């Protein structure tokens, strides 16, 4: 009689959990908000099935089959650990600003992830994005300066498929970026405050380059960026915010003013100075300490499978394929 462990590791159970996983896969595919357990539960069942099969089947403990199945089991376990410790999120950072962990919009975080962004310190430098004709995004180059805990700084250029990697966190540039006018608010009383006004993503929202804010002790101020040159659609060009000629159109208390860099506008409660035009850039953040392990295990699993199949092929070469026209299949 088959033992309970052998039953758990049997092929019918394998096929059943495969079907469950395929169903879970399609549910996740059809609805991005589907709960994680839809795929996690079948994967856990596959891990159980695999472990039981390895424990009870002598065939799965020999040669390439053993390597494949054990590596596959380890892959599922490590991937599960990765999900528990991972973090994904987004952040926008303007040129000249220092990375601020509180500004990160965390999309997902494993419950075993500790205090996020410990040891992540960098300042955003200038960036450029190339465009091919038809406003098709090409290369992104983003300059950043990282600072170690000892205070040593170093410059990096990241973009496209080269992320900034700090303390295990991987920062990828995205299509999301735009202009960030730097303004200083001089209140009637108190020290001046300088900050960046991130305008909507450019050129995605080139027709809506506006923002509004209310400085301390001042009225609500609406700003609009009036770019001198229209968007080029027929030729290649490079987006470099600091090289773009533009005027900052300011609306406050019913009055309208057009400011060039360095210009000042007095309003109730203080004075607004348009310092210069820079850009902000959006990063996608990903943290998963298991990435190298996942890769290694996947390669080992495939190597085990290839080893098993190669051995089987050598055995098959002794067979004869065609009774009508005998010939060897592995010449």
- Residues lying near other proteins in the complex (CB under 8 A) are found at 11-12, 14-15, 18-19, 21-22, 25-26, 28-29, 32, 88, 132, 134, 136-140, 159-163, 170, 172, 284-286, 291, 294-295, 298-299, 301-302, 305-306, 309, 312-313, 316, 319, 321-325, 327, 329, 331
Return the number of the residue (29 or 207) whose C-beta is nearest other proteins.
29
Residue 164 phi/psi, 5-degree rounding, is -90, 125
Structure tokens at 73: 């089991």
Query: Closest approach of Cβ 88 to other proteins, in Å?
Result: 7
Query: Closest approach of Cβ 11 to other proteins, in Å?
Result: 4
Structure tokens at 172: 């990828």
Return the number of the residue (88 or 97) whose C-beta is nearest other proteins.
88
Return the number of the residue (11 or 194) whose C-beta is nearest other proteins.
11
Return the number of the residue (130 or 210) whose C-beta is nearest other proteins.
130
Return the number of the residue (28 or 271) whose C-beta is nearest other proteins.
28
The helix (H) or strand (E) run that includes residue 312 is: helix 291-316
Query: Closest approach of Cβ 168 to other proteins, in Å?
Result: 14
Nearest of 106, 119, 125, 130 to residue 165 by alpha carbon: 119
Return the number of the residue (152 or 327) whose C-beta is nearest other proteins.
327
165 forms beta bridges with 170
Contact present, 123 and 147 (Cβ < 8 Å): yes
Query: Closest approach of Cβ 182 to other proteins, in Å?
Result: 28
| SS3 state at 109 | strand
CA dihedral 150, 155, 158, 164 (to 10 degrees): 0
Neighbours of 47 (CB within 10 A): 19
Query: Closest approach of Cβ 15 to other proteins, in Å?
Result: 5
> Is 40 exposed, middle or buried, given 0-12, 13-18 or 19+ CB atoms closer than 10 A?
middle
Structure tokens at 35: 């709960």
> How many angstroms separate the CA atoms of 320 and 223, rounded?
81
Query: Closest approach of Cβ 325 to other proteins, in Å?
Result: 6
Return the number of the residue (138 or 188) whose C-beta is nearest other proteins.
138
Query: Closest approach of Cβ 204 to other proteins, in Å?
Result: 14
Structure tokens at 69: 């199945």
């Amino acid at each position: 009689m088959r033992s309970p462990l052998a039953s758990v590791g049997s092929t019918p159970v394998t096929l059943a959990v495969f079907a469950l996983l395929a169903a879970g896969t399609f549910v996740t595919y059809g609805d991005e908000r589907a709960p994680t357990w839809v795929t996690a539960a079948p994967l856990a069942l596959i891990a159980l099935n695999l472990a039981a099969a390895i424990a009870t089947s002598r065939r799965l403990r020999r040669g390439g089959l053993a390597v494949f199945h054990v590596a596959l089991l380890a892959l599922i376990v490590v991937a599960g650990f990765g999900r528990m410790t991972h973090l994904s999120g987004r952040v926008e950072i303007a040129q000249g600003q220092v990375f601020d962990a509180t500004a990160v919009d965390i999309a997902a975080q494993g419950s075993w992830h500790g205090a996020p962004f410990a040891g992540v310190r960098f300042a955003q430098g200038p960036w450029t994005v190339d465009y091919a004709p038809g406003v098709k995004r090409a290369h992104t180059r983003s300059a950043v300066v990282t600072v170690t805990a000892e205070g040593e700084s170093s410059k990096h250029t990241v973009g496209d498929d080269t992320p900034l990697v700090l303390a295990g966190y991987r920062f990828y540039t995205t299509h999301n970026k735009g202009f960030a006018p730097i303004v200083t608010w001089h209140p009637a009383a108190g020290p001046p405050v300088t900050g960046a006004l991130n305008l909507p993503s450019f050129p995605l929202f080139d027709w809506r380059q506006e923002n509004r804010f209310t400085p301390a002790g001042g009225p609500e101020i609406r700003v609009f960026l009036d770019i001198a040159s229209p968007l080029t659609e027929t030729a290649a060009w490079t987006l470099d915010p600091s090289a773009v000629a533009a005027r900052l159109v300011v609306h406050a208390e019913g009055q309208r003013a057009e400011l060039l860099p360095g210009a000042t506008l007095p309003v109730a409660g203080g004075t607004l100075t348009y310092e210069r035009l820079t850009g902000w850039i959006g990063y996608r953040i990903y943290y998963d300490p298991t990435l190298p392990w996942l890769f290694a295990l996947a390669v080992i699993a495939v190597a085990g499978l290839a080893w098993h199949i190669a051995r089987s092929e050598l055995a098959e070469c002794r067979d004869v394929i065609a009774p009508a026209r005998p010939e060897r299949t592995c010449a």
